[in-house]
Structure 1
């Protein structure tokens, strides 16, 4: 088996359970020792309804847990404007005692995400332009008070949101696959999120990490300053088949420079179905609980 002692294990939860059962899942994630528990930020996802709001879910989870970090994977500028997003993030930061991490991405399109709901499909350039402005405005709103901002897409006048935060601002883990997104992660992020594409996720991750290295170099920053999280569960790699399978895969990706790995909470009858006993065994093995 490969050495995974330096890799942090996170879990992605599904905001679809009835409450209070959903609250018990958040508590169980903390009991299993995960470094972070994350939730997708969508209005709907792959046709599943009801799909609870990510920020409302995190606020509830913040009140129910004590140690685990909480985050969005990823906050979407498709339907969230900077001012209310910053305000909600500050509130969760305060409720959680400084345990919020903001995963941020440019947002998707089509039926798998929110494109059909919003009835708007931006071009890649439009999406990148909006994303860059959104991240920069959010950064200003959460670090300066009062602040006024004038952008192509959003404007703010004498807004004071930064005051009262537990963290200077929540860490930004940015999901940027293209050159501009990676430069944004290198400039403003504390972490970067890899969501491999294609048939060979390992080769794709190698290429993306090399591109991240170049982006960091262009920004005068060491890539090692960023946490680098790998999302799993969208390919054929058997992450949750056994402790041994997880160890082998995590070790291979850890050797590339991946510092954090996110697995999905088992969801019966879907592509993310897994044996709950094996899932808990892996968590216990990696997290030392």
Structure 2
């Protein structure tokens, strides 16, 4: 089991210095990772929001062991060539500790797509996500990227430098009952099922993803979010490999988050 601090970058946590300090505390307290939300805005009462890549870069400079990454980044509202540069730069800054969480995101919490002119339809954003992942994989491999898609164009570009470990792990978020996110996760390095209701639901989703994987022996992570104090044992038995902190973004208080981080992760008995 690995345990990660998962932070909404809102209000008192909307400061890269604060996030970096929490990352230092997390590493000292025995956490295995620090992951952050990727949002442009959020609904009231949240007012302030920080940029995930800047916060992660600040955390990377002050830590040496823990995994770091956005969890999750809706790639449909980011230019994939820009993400190539950002991801490799952060990976090299952290000496190979980046984990890239990706997903569709949702317009329902703060209308951050509809109010900024981004595509709202799930199908369109799913197409853009898949194209972006194709571009990222080719770019990270150091291959010339020839991508003429419906939504993105990369015409014979080679990107250097490459990631520290040749590629960057990609964890795919999605609802456990939807086949397309399951297939997308199976083609990458990890699955982050959202809105889980029981360990049995997780076990079923994990099995479906495993059945879709071309090489079931290749390392693969399953990350879930649990409220502090929840017994992790049934979830680990159902297939979770990472447990992330489930924090209410609308009631965040820095002093409570800092105390939780310094207490360290809850390990099964």
TM-score when scaled to structure 2? 0.85
Structure 2 distance, partners of 1:211, 1:172, is 18
Corresponding residue number in structure 1 for 2:55: 57
Of 242, 258, 272 in structure 1, the residue corresponding to residue 240 of structure 2 is: 258
Deviation at 1:152, TM superposition (A): 0.8
SS at match of 1:231: strand
Native 8 Å contact 1:13 1:39 kept in 2 = yes
Pair 1:218-2:218 in alignment: no
Could you list the runs of 4 or more consecutive aligned residues of structure 1 that deviate by over 4 angstroms after TM superposition? 264-268, 270-279
Q: CA RMSD in A?
A: 2.9
Alpha carbons of 1:270 and 1:26: their partners in 2 closer, same or farther (altered >3 Å)? closer
Deviations 1:7-37 (A, max 9, x none): 2111112333445333212211221221110
Native 8 Å contact 2:200 2:238 kept in 1 = yes
Of 180, 201, 218 in structure 2, the residue corresponding to residue 207 of structure 1 is: 201
Native 8 Å contact 1:69 1:100 kept in 2 = yes
Q: Which runs of 5+ in 1 are unaligned?
A: 1-6, 233-238
Structure 1 distance, partners of 2:22, 2:212, is 42
Corresponding residue number in structure 2 for 1:79: 77
Corresponding residue number in structure 1 for 2:184: 184
1:38-57 aligned within 5 A: 38-47=35-44, 48-57=46-55
Structure 2 distance, partners of 1:279, 1:87, is 30
Deviation at 1:55, TM superposition (A): 1.1
Deviation at 1:264, TM superposition (A): 4.4
Structure 2 distance, partners of 1:275, 1:23, is 13
Of 58, 66, 69 in structure 2, the residue corresponding to residue 68 of structure 1 is: 66
Pair 1:117-2:99 in alignment: no
Native 8 Å contact 1:266 1:275 kept in 2 = no
Of 106, 115, 125 in structure 1, the residue corresponding to residue 104 of structure 2 is: 106
Most deviating of 26-35 and 266-275: 266-275
Native 8 Å contact 1:72 1:102 kept in 2 = yes
Structure 1 distance, partners of 2:255, 2:111, is 20
Deviations 1:191-231 (A, max 9, x none): 1102125xxx11xx533542442343234343884211102
Most deviating of 253-262 and 141-150: 141-150
Alpha carbons of 1:272 and 1:265: their partners in 2 closer, same or farther (altered >3 Å)? farther
Alpha carbons of 1:149 and 1:268: their partners in 2 closer, same or farther (altered >3 Å)? closer
Alpha carbons of 1:270 and 1:68: their partners in 2 closer, same or farther (altered >3 Å)? closer
Deviations 1:127-176 (A, max 9, x none): 32222222222211211333221111101123222534212111011113
